[in-house]
Amino acid sequence: MRHTITVLGLGYIGLPTALLLAAGGNRVYGYDINTSRVKNLQDGTLPFEEHGLKELFSGARRKKTFTAVNRVLSTPVYIIAVPTPHKGYHADLQFVRAACKQILPFVTDKTLIIVESTIGPTDSVKKLYPYFTKHGRHPLFAYCPERAIPGKTIHEMRHNVRVIGGYTPQAAKMAQSLYRSFVKNDIQLTDVTTAEACKVMENTYRDVNIALANEFGKAAAAAGFNVWKAIQLANLHPRVHIHQPGPGVGGHCIAIDPWYMAGLTRDMRMIKTARKINDGMPAYVYKELDHILKVKKISAPRIGILGYAYKKNVSDWRETPAGPLSNYLKKRFSVMIHDPYVRIPAVSSNLDEILGKVSVVILVTDHDIYKTIDFRRYKNIRVVYDTRNCLTKDQFAGTNAQYHLLGSPYTIV
Ligand code: SAJ
C-alpha cells in the first residue's frame, strides 16, 4: 500500500477518485454524510452510473482496498470532494467547512489535505487554510481541481493533464505523488490561488464562448444564414474555435463557476453578460417557437420535448435548460417530455408514445437515439424545432412536418 487516504464526499467526483486511488494501490476510506449512500456502498450498490465505475468498484471490493465508512477515521491524507453550491458571486463553502471541521481532530502538521471541490480564487488562502492555523495546526494543503466530464469521468480522470496548487511546494509535491498512482498524463504544479483561478477560467472560457455562439445564432436567424455551417467554416481558421449554440447551458459547472470569477472586482462585465445570454436562451427558444406557431397558425398544440438531460447521452439534469423551457411552455400548452436516461416522474422514456400524440416537437438535448427517429411514422407531427442541429433532412423526407433549426433561416422541408 502506498498511501492511506480518506475521501470525504462520495459523489460524481469523490467516488470515482476514491476508486481510482484504490485501484492505484492505495488503501482508501470513503466517507459521506448521506448514511444510506454509505450503507448501499457497503452492500455493494453504486449510487449512480458512470462508464467504468462498476468494474473499479468490484475490483476494490474484491481486493478490499476501498471501504465506505459512517464516521471519519484518522488517516494521513484527506481529500475533500463535497459540493460547493453557488451563492451570489461566491462558492458556498459550507460543506467544505463542515468537512474541515470533521477532520480537524486528526489533523497534524504532517497531514496532507487536498481540496477537489470547485472554489473561487483565493478561497484556500483566505478562507480554508486559516481555519486550521486558528486551531494551531499547519497541515500540508493542496488544491487539485477535477477536470472530468460526466459520461467520461473515469477516462478523463486517468488521461487529462492535472493542475495541483500547493499551499507550499512540499504539499504540491506530496499531492502529485498521490495522483501519480492513477493519472497517466502530466501533473503540473503551482500555488493554490493559481490552481483555483485556472479551474474557474477553464469553465468561464467555455461559458463566454458558448454565449458568443448563441449571439451568432440569433444574428443568423435574423439575417438569414445558417450559423452551424458558418461556425464550421470559421473553425477551419487555425486560431478560431467557436463553440456551438443551443438552448442554454446546464450542468453543475459551466453555468455556475464563472460567477466566482465575475465577483473578483467590480469591473467585470463580459462574464456577467455571457451568463445572462446563456441563462436567457430558454426564453429565446420559447419566443422563437411561439413565432413559428403563429406563422403556422397552430393555436393549441400538444408539445413534445425531446431530451431533459443538460447534455447528450447522460442522465444528469442539473441546471438543465429544459427545466425553464418546459415551465414556459406548460403555462400555455399541454407538454410531454421524453428522455431515455433521466428517471423522474415528469419525464417519460416512451418515445414512440409521445411522438404519436404531439403536433409539435422541440428537441432540447441531442441524445444519439433521436438521430434515428423516422418521422414518417408520425403523421400527427406538424412542426419540429431542433435547437441542437441534431436531426437530418433525411428524417423528414415524405413527412408533413416542417423542420426548423435554431440559428438558421426558417427551413421548409
Ligand atoms: N454546450 C453548448 N455549446 C457548446 C458546448 C456545450 O451549448 O459548444 C452546453 C452543453 O449542452 C451543456 C453545457 O454547455 O448544457 C455544459 O456542458 P459541457 O459538456 O461543456 O461541460 P460540463 O459542465 O459537463 O463539464 C465542464 C467541463 N469543463 C470544460 O470543458 C472547461 C469539465 O472538464 C469540468 O470538469 C466540469 O465542467 C467541471 O466540473 O467544472
| pLDDT tens string 20-48 | 999 999 999 999 999 999 999 999 999 98
- Give the Å distance between the CA of 188 and the centre of ligand 1: 22
Alpha-carbon 349 to chain mean position? 22
* Residue 79 near residue 8 (C-beta atoms within 8 A): yes
Measured in degrees and rounded to the nearest 5, phi and psi for residue 78 equal -125, 135
Give the number of the atom of ligand 1 that is nearest the alpha carbon of residue 244.
Answer: 8
* Residue 381 near residue 361 (C-beta atoms within 8 A): yes
**Distance (Å, whole) CA 357 – CA 353:** 7
**Distance (Å, whole) CA 37 – CA 20:** 19
Cell of 250: 446546464
Encode pLDDT of 52-109 as tens digits: 999 999 999 999 999 999 999 999 999 999 999 888 889 999 999 999 999 999 999 9
Best residue among 119, 199, 206 to mutate for probing ligand 1's pocket (most ligand atoms within 8 Å of CB) is 206
pTM (global) more than 0.85: yes
From residue 3, alpha-carbon distances to 76, 181, 215, 373 in Å are 8, 10, 50, 51
User: Stretch 118-130: mean pLDDT, rounded?
Assistant: 97
Best residue among 203, 215, 218, 363 to mutate for probing ligand 1's pocket (most ligand atoms within 8 Å of CB) is 203
- Give the Å distance between the CA of 377 and the centre of ligand 1: 34
* Residue 367 near residue 313 (C-beta atoms within 8 A): yes
Cα dihedral 372, 375, 380, 382 sign:
positive
Residue 410 pLDDT > 70, yes or no?
A: no
Give the number of the atom of ligand 1 that is nearest the alpha carbon of residue 150.
Answer: 24
**Distance (Å, whole) CA 363 – CA 247:** 9
pLDDT at 413: 45
**Distance (Å, whole) CA 309 – CA 150:** 11
Q: What is the 3-state secondary structure (H, E, C) of 201-247?
A: HHHHHHHHHHHHHHHHHHHHHHHCCCHHHHHHHHCCCCCCCCCCCCC
Q: Catalytic residues, which ones?
A: 199, 253
Task: Give burial (CB, 10 Å; 0-12/13-18/19+) of 239.
Answer: exposed
Residue 188 pLDDT > 70, yes or no?
A: yes
- Give the Å distance between the CA of 56 and the centre of ligand 1: 25
Best residue among 254, 259, 285 to mutate for probing ligand 1's pocket (most ligand atoms within 8 Å of CB) is 254
Give the number of the atom of ligand 1 that is nearest the alpha carbon of residue 365.
Answer: 11
Q: Which residues line ligand 1 (CB under 6 A)?
A: 118, 146-150, 202-203, 206, 210, 243-244, 246, 249-251, 253-254, 257, 310-311
pLDDT at 1: 53
What are the respective helix, strand and coil percentages of the chain, to the nearest 5?
Answer: 40, 15, 45
Cell of 292: 413559428
The residue to which cell 506530496 is assigned: 174
Residue 412 pLDDT > 80, yes or no?
A: no
Q: Is 117 helix (H, G, I), strand (E, B) or coil?
A: coil
